[in-house]
Amino acid sequence: MVIPERSAASLVVAAGARTAEARLLAEAGAFLERRDAALDAAFAAGDASAARHLLEHPLRIVVPSASLRDHVSAALLRHFGRSLAAVSVHTQWALALSVIERADLVR
């Protein structure tokens, strides 16, 4: 079974918003191709646990504002022409809350 490569989080500097968006869509597309190939292989092999593992770890895209979150979500939908399983676009604030909740610090 082929598992998508894990890569460390990275910061990319681009010359303008359109260049940054094009880079994001290209990198998301490459990740989704690897992930979908691994999912197809897992389903073909009847390996539900491998498929579940792939979907339990979403591609997280973090942006600074809710308006940019909405824009990036719409751009992903336009670019790929479909909704994307296990892909989420978070604001920095929402990601921070998610981390705190996972750490069980919210009471």
pLDDT tens per residue across span 94-104: 999 988 888 87
- List, run by run, the mean pLDDT of 10-residue segments along the chain (107 residues): 53 86 93 92 92 87 94 96 91 91 71
In angstroms, the Cα distances linking 27 to 46, 49, 88 are: 29, 26, 14
